[in-house]
């Protein structure tokens, strides 16, 4: 079972032949939305809209623990592909580019970020040297290659708290830290998947130049973002379809 967490602009997957929807309760409360089960080709897929069906849950209020728990324990996902929109920092990662990041930096705060939260459970420190699953990343990159959708295969994803966008100085700092793209939902999603020992990778659509860069030099033009995202997410869907078609 492959799980797909859809972000802004991707609240459903047209190619998914839906078989059922399920409302799941978890020890951590309610996931962002009901789980949608179905098939793409022969691959069983479960889809979850990260921000809810009506896109009403802001990044800092997403119940990441409930979402991950539901996908892994209720839906039995054995791999998770996260789809997210990001701002581009690195000069070759402008609006419209698609990126499969290989590293992450966490600037979020106040989000429940572990399943090992004291109580009865022993203290566990998971290894997070490589935050994304190498083989799932490679499968995404191969799928892009196979259908001629260019994917940038190495980028450091900075996760900011949001929901506001960054100041230009903050983006400069992120760049000095080594970040190439910036989004608001990469963490704690990635680490919770790791705690559940489930391969996790992300495919990110650059929706805008980050603050102070490119055509965001003076402000971010929100009115342009929607059209760009729709175009990019069309390509993301094709990559995911190919990934599913290629699953043995
Ligand atoms: N910053 C943070 N998150 C984002 C951005 C951005 O510029 N664009 C899309 N998600």
Tell me, in angstroms, the distance from the centre of ligand 1 to residue 165's CA.
6
Tell me, in angstroms, the distance from the centre of ligand 1 to residue 219's CA.
13
CATH of the domain spanning 2-245: 3.40.50.1580
Residue nearest to atom 6 of ligand 1 (CA): 87
**Is residue 147 scored above 70 in pLDDT?**
yes
What does the pLDDT average to over 93-98?
97
Lowest mean pLDDT among 13-17, 124-128, 181-185, 232-236: 13-17
Segments of the chain assigned E as strands: 2-6, 17-22, 35-40, 43-49, 79-88, 98-99, 103-106, 156-159, 181-183, 200-209
Q: What sections of the chain are H helices per DSSP? A: 64-69, 134-147, 168-177, 186-195, 222-245
Tokens representing 120?
Answer: 């009865």
Grouping H, G, I as helix, E, B as strand and the rest as coil, residue 46 is strand
**Is residue 248 scored above 70 in pLDDT?**
no
Average per-residue pLDDT for the chain: 94
Q: Quick: pLDDT tens for 194-238.
A: 999 999 999 999 999 999 999 999 999 888 888 889 999 999 999
**Is residue 13 scored above 80 in pLDDT?**
no
Task: Give the Cα separation of 88 and 157 in Å (integer).
Answer: 10
Ligand 1 contacts (CB < 6 A) are 85-87, 160, 165-166, 182-184, 207-208, 210
Residue nearest to atom 7 of ligand 1 (CA): 87
Return the ligand 1 atom nearest residue 209 CA. Answer: 7
Residue nearest to atom 10 of ligand 1 (CA): 86
Q: Which of 167, 184, 219 to mutate to test the pocket of ligand 1 (most atoms within 8 A of CB)?
A: 184
In the chain, where the domains are located? 2-245
Task: Give the Cα separation of 64 and 174 in Å (integer).
Answer: 24
What does the pLDDT average to over 53-59?
90
The percentage of residues in the chain with a pLDDT greater than 90, rounded to a whole number, is 84
pLDDT at site 15:
79
- The confidence band for 135, taking pLDDT boundaries of 50, 70 and 90, is very high
Q: What's the sign of the alpha-carbon dihedral 53, 55, 61, 67? A: positive
What does the pLDDT average to over 117-145?
94
């Amino acid at each position: 079972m492959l799980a797909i967490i859809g972000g802004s602009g991707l609240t459903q997957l047209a190619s998914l032949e839906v078989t059922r929807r399920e409302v799941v309760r978890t020890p951590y409360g309610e996931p962002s939305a009901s789980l949608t089960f179905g098939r793409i080709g022969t691959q069983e897929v479960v889809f979850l809209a990260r921000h809810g069906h009506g896109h009403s849950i802001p990044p800092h209020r997403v119940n990441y623990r409930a979402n991950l728990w539901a996908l892994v324990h209720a839906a039995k996902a054995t791999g998770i592909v996260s789809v997210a929109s990001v701002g581009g920092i690195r000069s070759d990662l402008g609006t419209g580019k698609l990126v499969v990041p290989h590293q992450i930096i966490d600037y979020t705060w106040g989000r429940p970020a572990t399943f090992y939260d004291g109580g009865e459970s022993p203290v566990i420190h998971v290894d997070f040297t490589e935050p994304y699953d190498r083989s799932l990343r490679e499968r995404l990159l191969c799928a892009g290659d196979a259908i001629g959708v260019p994917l940038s295969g190495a980028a450091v994803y900075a996760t900011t708290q949001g929901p506001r966008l960054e100041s230009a100085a903050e983006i400069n700092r992120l760049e000095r830290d080594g970040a190439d793209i910036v989004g608001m939902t990469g963490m704690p999603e990635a680490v919770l998947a790791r705690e559940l020992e489930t391969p996790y990778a992300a495919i990110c659509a650059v929706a805008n130049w980050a603050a102070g860069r490119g055509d965001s030099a003076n402000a971010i033009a929100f009115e342009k973002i929607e059209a760009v995202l729709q175009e990019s997410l069309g390509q993301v869907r094709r990559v995911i379809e190919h990934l599913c078609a290629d699953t043995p």
